[in-house]
Structure 1
Amino acid sequence: MLKKIGFVGLGTVGKHMAENLAKSDYALTVWDEDAEAAAALGKLGVKVGSSAKETAKGQDLVIVIVPESEQIVFGAEGVLEGIDPGTIFVDMGTHCPETIERMSKEAVKRRAMFLEAPVWGSKEHAANGLLTILAGGDEALLGRCREPFSYFGLNIIHIGKVGDATRMKMIVNMLQAELLVSLSEGLVMGNKMGFTPDKILEVLDSGGVASPLFHSKGRSIARGDFSRNLALKYVHSQLERVLEAAQKFGLELPAAETARKLYAQADADGRGEEDFSAIIKLLRR
């Protein structure tokens, strides 16, 4: 039975995941490079680790959700240096397949059990326990993690072996980025024709192209709210990975390539830290 959890990574989404876990009966230890973020969690009564390595020690389960980071996972003070044999190591970030494979191999060397479980959703989803979790690895191991995952995840889907969840997340990331470009084009074109965003969204919500993404992002765009839920810079980097993978398969993905160019330009223009819905600002020129 899992009792002690180490949680590394208190960014836009990870912070809310840890806050929800803090409401449970698990003995939770958190750590982040941002000491203030960790201290804020400490005020909720959880223990704050001194490093990623120390946070991983003595735990039943270690959850890591950070951008691709050599030092936090693989470094001398990283998670893998502190993890104990028999501990479940779950990576919930979005990485390239090669990084996931390396994590899995290093975990096995240390006789730890590895599960990849990238999350899909915004900070609002995380705050309200509504994230989707895509899991790759032993399904029985996932079964042991379902209870703690349920504090921040609504949908927990076993995809297949280690690596499969990361590959599935690529598809999700690609479609999400393309949909936002399509929505932005519709809102910009509609504005030129004299329609308000609210009227366009009312029509979209009523028909066959209705989607939660169009609804939520469309409303925030209409309010002029581009506060960060999913950083544009991350969507750009994810599209780069998608197209690298497509090249290996000999695929041409024209919509993804167009989206990549737009997000790359918006990132270069200094919009990387804004929400990825800020892509519409590029199209409004």
Structure 2
Amino acid sequence: MLKKIGFVGLGTVGVHMAANLAKSDYQLTVFDQDAKAVAELATLGVKVGESPMATAKGQDLVIVIVPDSDFLVFGQDGVFEGIDPGTILVDMGTHCIETIQRMAQEAVKHRVMFLEAPVWGSKEHAANGLLTILAGGDEALLGRCREPFSYFGLNIIHIGKVGDATRMKLIVNLLQAEMMQSLSEGLVFGEKMGFKPDKILEVLDSGGVASPLFHSKGRSIARGDFSRNLALKYVHLQMLRVLETAEKLGLELPAAKTVSGIFAQAVADGRGEEDFSAIVKLLRK
């Protein structure tokens, strides 16, 4: 039975995942380089680790959700320096296939059980326990993790072997970025013809193109609210990974190339820290 959990990575989504876990009966230890995020979790009564190594030591389950795993996972004082044999290690970030394979290989060396489980959703999804979790690895091992995952995830889907969840997440990232671009173009096109965003969204919500993304992001755009739920810079990074993977497969994705270029321009314009819906600002120039 899982009792002690180490949690490394308190970013935009991770901090809310850990906060929800803090409401459980698990003994939770957290680590992040952001002192503000750590202090926020400490007020909930969780233990704060001195390093990723210390946070991973003596745990039943270690969850890692960081954009760049090299230092915090593989480096000196990293997770693999402290994790004990028999521990379950779950990577919940979104990385390239090569990184996931490296983590899986390192887990074998340390006699650690490994799952990849990239999460899908925004800050709001994480805060409300509504994330989707795509899992790759032993399904029985996933079964042992379902209870802790349920504190921050609504949908927990086993995709296949290690690597498959990351591949599936690429599909999600591709469609999400292209849908945001389509929504932005539709809103700006409509505005130029004299329609209010709210009226455009009312029509979109009523028919076959209705989607939760159009509904929520369309209304935040209409309000001029671009506060970060999912950082534009991360969406751009994921689109680059989509194109890299497509190239290896010998596949042309013309729309993805165009959308990736638009996100690249938004990052170059200094909008990387804004919500990814801020690409609409490029079209409104």
The Cα offsets for residues 194-246 of structure 1, whole Å up to 9 and x where unpaired, read as: 10100000000000000000000001000000000110000001000000000
Alignment of 1:198-217 (within 5 A): 198-217=198-217
**Residue of structure 2 equivalent to 1:49:** 49
How far 1:68 moved relative to its partner? 1.9
Structure 1 Cα separation of the partners of residues 80 and 187 of structure 2 = 47
Asked if structure 2 preserves the Cα contact closer than 8 Å seen for 1:6 and 1:62, the reply is yes
Report deviation, 1:109: 0.4
Match of 1:84 in 2: 84
| Greater than 4 Å deviation, 4+ residue runs | none
Taking the TM superposition and a 5 Å limit, the aligned residue runs for 1:117-156 are: 117-156=117-156
Tell me if structure 2 keeps the 8 A contact 1:86–1:113. Answer: yes
Distance 1:150 1:266 in 2: 35
> 1:69 and 1:267 mapped to 2: Cα distance?
22
- Report the AA paired with residue 55 of structure 2: T
Q: After superposition, where does 1:59-208 map in structure 2 within 5 Å? A: 59-208=59-208
Q: What is the distance in 1 between the residues matched to 2:174 and 2:224?
A: 24
Q: Is the 8 A contact 1:68 1:94 kept in 2?
A: no
Aligned partner of 1:256 in structure 2 is 256
Structure 1 CA distance for aligned equivalents of residues 256 and 222 of structure 2: 25
Counterparts of 1:283 and 1:100, CA distance in 2: 36
User: How far apart, CA to CA, are the structure 2 residues paired with 1:180 and 1:121?
Assistant: 14
Q: Does 1:32 align with 2:32?
A: yes
**How far apart in 2 are the matches of 1:244 and 1:68?**
18
Q: CA deviation at 1:39?
A: 1.6
Contact 1:178 1:256 in 2 (8 A): yes
Structure 2 residue ranges without an equivalent (≥5): none
- Would you say the 8 A contact 1:266–1:272 is kept in 2? yes
| TM-superposition CA deviations, 1:20-56 (whole Å, max 9, x none) | 0000000000000112211210110000000011000
Q: Which residue of 2 aligns with 1:228?
A: 228
Report the equivalent of 1:243: 243
State the number of aligned residues.
285
1:270 aligned counterpart, secondary structure: coil
Q: Whole-Å Cα distance in 1 between the matches of residues 229 and 142 of structure 2? A: 27
Q: Residue 236 of structure 1 aligns to which amino acid in structure 2?
A: H
User: 1:174, 1:256 within 8 Å by CA — same for their partners in 2?
Assistant: yes
Q: What is the aligned-residue identity percentage?
A: 82
The offset of 1:94, in angstroms, is: 0.4
TM-score by length of 1: 0.99
Task: Tell me if the contact between 1:85 and 1:111 (Cα under 8 Å) persists in the aligned partners.
Answer: yes
Distance 1:73 1:203 in 2: 47
Q: CA RMSD in A?
A: 0.5
- The whole-number CA distance in structure 2 between the counterparts of 1:109 and 1:249 is 30
